[in-house]
Amino acid sequence: MNYPYQIKTREAYDKAYKQSVEDPESFWANIAETFTWQKKWDKVLTWNFKDPDIKWFEGGKLNITENCLDRHLEKSGNKPAIIWESNDPEEHHRILTYKELHFKVVQFSNVLKNNGVKKGDRVCIYMGMIPELAIATLACARIGAIHSVIFGGFSAQAIADRLDDAQSEFIITCDGAYRGAKDIPLKSVIDDALIGNKSIKRVIVCTRTRTPVSMIKGRDVWWEDEIKKVETHGNPDCPAEVMDAEDILFILYTSGSTGKPKGVVHSTAGYMVWANYTFVNVFQYQPGQVHFCTADIGWITGHSYIIYGPLSAGGTTLMFEGVPTWPDAGRFWEIVDTYKVNILYTAPTAIRSLMGFGLEYLKNKDLSSLKVLGTVGEPINEEAWHWYDKNIGKGNCPIVDTWWQTETGGIMISNIANVTEGIPSFATLPLPGVQPCLVDENGVEIEGNKVNGNLCIKAPWPGIIRSTYRDHERCRQTYFSTYPDKYFTGDGCMRDADGNYRITGRVDDVLNVSGHRIGTAEVENAINMHAGVIESAVVGYPHDIKGQGIYAYVIHDGSHGDPNLTRQDILQTVARIIGPIAKPDKIQFVPGLPKTRSGKIMRRILRKIAEGDTGNLGDTSTLLDPSLVDIIKESRI
């Protein structure tokens, strides 16, 4: 496959950028032309940010799986689409060619249909990182069902909330998942999520760990048995459902500043074009290259850069079931060596953690196949950037620092490998189609360079969030109302003298822990559910490996005696309500929280104390009880 819209020089970038701003409709029409459509669009773009109401390629009909699979069959049918590496280095890897992947997706599409799944139905997918997860996702897209993939680290309660919000009737899961030395009993978590649930019609269970599971008659079926029922001798057939460009492709839940995660809605055509365009350009993907994105498909990075970006480009995507440090900290490097990986896309937290193990694990690993390195999910500190550059890229590979969000569908601000310059800890320049601006607290745009502000985007790009599921008003309020006529990212940002952007972190109450997005309100809600907890306040603090750690201030009635036991109990409660990823790193018991006279918690002060910056806490005179601050400072942990 060739990519006529791949930017090859700095001049081409400048030209593409200019055109994308001056004439977005013809710019994106030219790119969209290269995809497979069942019917071309009538109008490239209509939009307003007030409602918001954004439509790309309206009137167009297509199916994303024809673009990710069918269109590659003739020329690349025997090329590897997915290389799968097991958690266990001794277990045989699997390679699925485009023909094989197409076959399996079509087959599983028929399984879904047999089980009553119809176009528009929401299907929850809760699986480990095995090829069947990609197959299930693509099969939903093939028949027009809306997938809602939930990361395997979320708890039963978190799943139940998401099932309820999406009004899902179908679940695809596994008996269990391997992650490093652990077996995670996925089906058993689903069983807990379904206690008392009356709306789930079917749970399809794929075998992976063969952990004993309970299979409820009439509701639960095995993936493998269902496949047998649709097995045909020739090639199975399942025509790709005709989808409108703006039909929902998927929902993905993410945290915000309220206690309830929101279902970010992405639609079909715009998301496809954006995932593909950004993949092909930022990483400068060349046909035949092996792309290894280390994210989990449960997050947006996995959706866009394990599945839809690489497959729509006819590329080879490497899917890894395990973790970077098991059986040892050389796992990534061994994978790069074994499969001659060309592009490695990972998170700063993984780099920092591997840095800590020293260079020993790099010995005897041939990394010479690497051409491009990438990072995503959080700001990368300079030390980690240089370590990645020197020891992994050997000084020869550009590092693309890609800034984007679940809501943006794909990369927004990043250098383009070998085309635009990378600068340590800067995301650098916006991609064509992206018009960033910085605004001050009053919503006034800050012009010029060497400035700081809140990062907004002025016009829609094809992959922009369309809604929050079943609650459009929440989408409007969260992203489009803070600053009229702008999409507000929730991030703070600096623009340097040359116009390069550097993301400084969230300006709302959202934490970024090991690249995972967690709302402080969500964690507080979970802590407050624990018996004896009267109130809590959660803030982030700098953490060497995780980027941010979770610091919880808790008022407890002391009824259970031993504070250490109470701490353990609170952690257990958070793991139950959200999942282990949201467990606070530190819990400090306090007699009260610093509040203003109107009852608002002064988080600024709590943040400073958590950071250890207790020297200058600013003005505390507006506090209801200023003496509390000293008490909290003294018992800081």
Strand pairing partners for 426?
Answer: 423
Report the nearest approach of ligand PRX to the CB of residue 427 (Å).
5
- Cα separation, 9 vs 18, in Å, equals 14
Report the nearest approach of ligand PRX to the CB of residue 60 (Å).
26
Nearest to ligand PRX of 301, 353 (CB atom): 301
Report the nearest approach of ligand PRX to the CB of residue 299 (Å).
6
Nearest to ligand PRX of 236, 490 (CB atom): 490
Alpha-carbon distances of 627 from 197, 378, 601, 612, 624, rounded to whole Å: 49, 36, 15, 18, 9
Nearest to ligand PRX of 52, 377 (CB atom): 377
For residue 115, what is the enclosing H or E element?
none
Report the nearest approach of ligand PRX to the CB of residue 479 (Å).
11
Continuous H helices in 206-297: 223-230, 268-282
Nearest to ligand PRX of 31, 252 (CB atom): 252
Nearest to ligand PRX of 74, 382 (CB atom): 382
Cβ neighbors of 29 (< 8 A, separation 6 or more) are 41, 44
Contact 310, 291 (CB under 8 A): yes
> How many CB atoms lie under 10 A from the CB of residue 18?
12
Collapsed DSSP state (helix, strand, coil) of residue 300: helix
Nearest to ligand PRX of 97, 512 (CB atom): 512
Which is it for the CA torsion 572, 578, 584, 590, positive or negative?
A: negative
- Cα separation, 314 vs 517, in Å, equals 30
Alpha-carbon distances of 458 from 100, 176, 275, 465, 589, rounded to whole Å: 43, 44, 20, 14, 44
Report the nearest approach of ligand PRX to the CB of residue 547 (Å).
9
Cβ neighbors of 49 (< 8 A, separation 6 or more) are 460, 480, 484, 485, 486, 487
Report the nearest approach of ligand PRX to the CB of residue 359 (Å).
25
Which residue's Cβ has the minimum distance to ligand PRX?
406
- Cα separation, 179 vs 327, in Å, equals 10
**Residue reference for tokens 């496949």:** 227
Nearest to ligand PRX of 389, 491 (CB atom): 491
Report the nearest approach of ligand PRX to the CB of residue 112 (Å).
28
Nearest to ligand PRX of 132, 401 (CB atom): 401
Nearest to ligand PRX of 322, 377 (CB atom): 377
Nearest to ligand PRX of 76, 500 (CB atom): 500
Cβ neighbors of 497 (< 8 A, separation 6 or more) are 449, 450
Q: Which two tokens stand for residue 529?
A: 């559910």
Find, among 468, 312, 332, 435, the residue nearest to 388 by Cα. 332
Report the nearest approach of ligand PRX to the CB of residue 503 (Å).
4
Torsion of CA 79, 83, 89, 91, to 10 degrees: -70
- Cα separation, 586 vs 567, in Å, equals 9
Nearest to ligand PRX of 300, 438 (CB atom): 300
**Residue reference for tokens 């046909």:** 287
- Cα separation, 80 vs 318, in Å, equals 10
Report the nearest approach of ligand PRX to the CB of residue 377 (Å).
5
Q: Which residues of this protein are in contact with ligand PRX, per CB under 6 A?
A: 254, 300-301, 376-379, 401-406, 427, 489-491, 503, 506, 512, 517
Find, among 581, 550, 548, 554, the residue nearest to 566 by Cα. 554
52 prior amide bond cis, ω within 30: yes
Q: How many helices (H) and strands (E) does the chain have?
A: 20, 30
Nearest to ligand PRX of 315, 540 (CB atom): 540
Report the nearest approach of ligand PRX to the CB of residue 438 (Å).
15
Report the nearest approach of ligand PRX to the CB of residue 405 (Å).
4
Report the nearest approach of ligand PRX to the CB of residue 510 (Å).
7
Report the nearest approach of ligand PRX to the CB of residue 499 (Å).
17
Nearest to ligand PRX of 539, 617 (CB atom): 539
